Structure 1
Amino acid sequence: MTASPIPASELLIGASRTMRFEGDEYGSGISFFYVDNDPGMGPGLHRHPYTETWLVIEGEATIRMGDDTVIAHAGDTAVVAADTWHGFTNTGLGRLRIVCIHASPVMIQENLDEPEAADRPG
Structure 2
Amino acid sequence: MTTQSGVPLPPDDISRKLTLSHSDDPMLRHVSIVGGTYTILVSGEQTGGRYCLIDMLIPPGGGPPPHRHDFEEMFTVIDGEIELMFRGQPYRAAAGSTVNIPANAPHAFRNDSNRPARMLCMCTPAGQEELFLAVGDLVASRTAPPPSLSQAEQAERMARAKALSAKYRTELLA
TM range (shorter): 0.7 to 0.9
More helix by share: 2
Give deviations 1:44-99, integer Å, cap 9, x for gaps. Answer: 11111122111000111001111221100000011111101111000122111011
**Separation in structure 1 between the aligned mates of residue 63 and residue 127 of structure 2, nearest angstrom:** 21
Sequence identity, in percent?
21
**Separation in structure 1 between the aligned mates of residue 80 and residue 108 of structure 2, nearest angstrom:** 16
Deviation at 1:26, TM superposition (A): 0.6
RMSD: 2.4
Moved >6 Å (runs of 4+): none
Deviates more, 1:25-34 or 1:82-91: 25-34
Matched, 1:5 2:20: yes
Q: How high is the TM-score relative to the length of structure 1?
A: 0.78
Q: How high is the TM-score relative to the length of structure 2?
A: 0.57
Q: Which has the larger radius of gyration?
A: 2
Q: State the aligned residue count.
A: 114
Deviation at 1:113, TM superposition (A): 4.6
Instruction: Indicate the SS of the match to 2:115.
Output: coil
**Separation in structure 1 between the aligned mates of residue 106 and residue 79 of structure 2, nearest angstrom:** 24
**Separation in structure 2 between the aligned mates of residue 111 and residue 21 of structure 1, nearest angstrom:** 24
Query: Contact 1:31/1:105 (CA < 8 Å) preserved in 2?
Result: yes
**Separation in structure 1 between the aligned mates of residue 42 and residue 84 of structure 2, nearest angstrom:** 23
Instruction: Indicate the SS of the match to 1:91.
Output: coil
**Separation in structure 2 between the aligned mates of residue 2 and residue 94 of structure 1, nearest angstrom:** 37
Q: Which amino acid aligns with 1:13?
A: V
Matched, 1:35 2:56: yes
- Larger relative contact order (Cα-Cα within 8 Å, sequence gap ≥ 6): 1
